[in-house]
Amino acid sequence: MTDRQILGQREEDGLPRYAGIATFALLPRMEDVEHADVAVVGIPFDSGTSFRPGARFGPSYIREHSRQLHPYHQIHDAFPFRNQQIVDAGDFGVGPYGIEASVETIHAKANRLTAQGTRILALGGDHTIALPLIRAAADVHGPLAVLHFDAHLDTWDVLHGSSIWHGSPFRRAAGEGLLDLDHCQHVGIRGGIYDPSELEDDKRAGFQIIRAEEFQERTMQEIAEQILQRLGTGPVYISIDIDVLDPAQAPATGTPEVGGINTREFFSVLRRLKGLNIVGGDVVEVAPAYDHAGVTGLAAAHTAWELLTLMGLTAEEAPAFRS
């Protein structure tokens, strides 16, 4: 569509992809377009982290590693940046002090975008940010199906006196009536728990579990079909903690867990989730200080690109996969 701004002015200005200020995938900025169908937003917040800090530096790191992304997706035979107007809306201004106040700020800023019909793909930041983003999406669409890729359940309750932290966003969202309890799915779970009762709490929050070990025992097609059946046809929010990947694939995260899936398995499943009604999403928990050779930054940038492609793709527009 020729009226859409697909990339910035780098080629016209003679700048190579590695030069200049990095917007996500070199996309235009929010202020450069009249309306955005999807806004990539950075949320540099990690005050809800329970182990290693540093995810506040994730948004800029992911952007820097998105320079190599290209506008054509050869697996889907699609131009995700051409099918929809996608922009980089910069970072939400949110301070490091006071989790509850920060969550309210994120919710208010997200609402300004969703109220004008713009879907959000957020770059975190720790997983706490999923709660206000789900609130904003549910304000528009009602209760949401949630697809959650993670090593951990993130349906825990209070920790160190705080009811809102990066291990509780989906418990809080379920308690606020924001989730469609019949259509939520965890994928990649393997992290430790303190007591089996936590699994019962997780069921009450509306989630079914596909564990990391199942990626060895089942085909990617079987896993994708289970996800699609569980999510249904209603509005879907996709939340991806980068620690769903094994630390060998994504070491730069706050709570790494061994025995995770690899990027090939992960993308193979993601690419089969065509036709979902995706109303928002996030890629979180990238903590650059623990990375080497940009491994985690690259994985996160490409993950966001896969989500953006899915957000503009209908079932009829994507080729079928074979098991």
- At 108 the pLDDT is 98
184's CB contacts (< 8 A; 6+ apart) are 145, 146, 147, 148, 170, 205, 206, 207, 208, 230
Which residue from 285, 311, 258, 308 is spatially nearest to 61, judged by alpha carbons?
Answer: 285
Residues 6+ apart with CB under 8 A from 320: none
Strand order in the sheet with 38-43: 86-91, 38-43, 119-124, 277-284, 235-241, 145-149, 184-189, 207-211
Q: Which pLDDT does position 10 carry in this prediction?
A: 60
User: Please, which pLDDT band fits residue 313 given cuts at 50, 70 and 90?
Assistant: confident
Mean pLDDT, the chain, integer: 92
**Percent of the chain at pLDDT exceeding 70:** 93
Mean pLDDT of 109-114: 97
Q: Which residue has the higher pLDDT, 18 or 243?
A: 243
Q: How far apart are CA 126 and CA 132, in angstroms?
A: 12
Confidence of residue 227 (pLDDT cuts 50, 70, 90): very high
- Split at pLDDT 50, 70, 90, the class of 6 is confident
In whole angstroms, give the CA distance from residue 146 to residue 183: 7
Reduced to 3 states (helix: H, G, I; strand: E, B; else coil), residue 162 is: strand
In angstroms, how far apart are the furthest CA atoms of the chain?
Answer: 59
Which comes out higher in pLDDT, residue 18 or 181?
A: 181
The pLDDT of residue 163 is 86
d(CA 134, CA 110): 10
**DSSP bridge partners of 221:** none
Quick one: pLDDT at residue 315?
A: 46
Quick one: pLDDT at residue 4? 64
pLDDT, average across residues 212-221 = 97
Rounded to an integer, what distance in angstroms lies between the CA atom of residue 127 and that of residue 165? Answer: 8
Q: Which residues fall within 8 angstroms of residue 102, CB to CB, at 6 or more apart? A: 45, 47, 94, 95, 96
pLDDT digits (tens, 9 = 90+) for 173-202: 999 999 999 999 999 999 888 899 999 999
SS3 call for 209: strand
Residue 245 makes CB contacts below 8 A (sequence gap 6+) with 260, 261, 262, 263, 266, 299
Coil/strand/helix, residue 37: coil
Q: 148, 8, 126: which is closest to 67 by C-alpha?
A: 8
Higher pLDDT, 152 or 6: 152
pLDDT tens sequence across 250-281: 999 999 999 999 999 999 999 999 999 999 99
Confidence at residue 316, expressed as pLDDT on a 0 to 100 scale: 45
pLDDT in tens, 33-53: 999 999 999 999 999 999 999
What is the mean predicted confidence (pLDDT) over 87-113? 95
Cα–Cα distance measured from residue 304 to residue 67, given in angstroms and rounded to the nearest whole number: 13
Q: Which domains does the chain show, CATH number per domain?
A: 10-317 (3.40.800.10)
State the average pLDDT over residues 291-308. 98
pLDDT category at 128 given cuts 50, 70, 90 is: very high
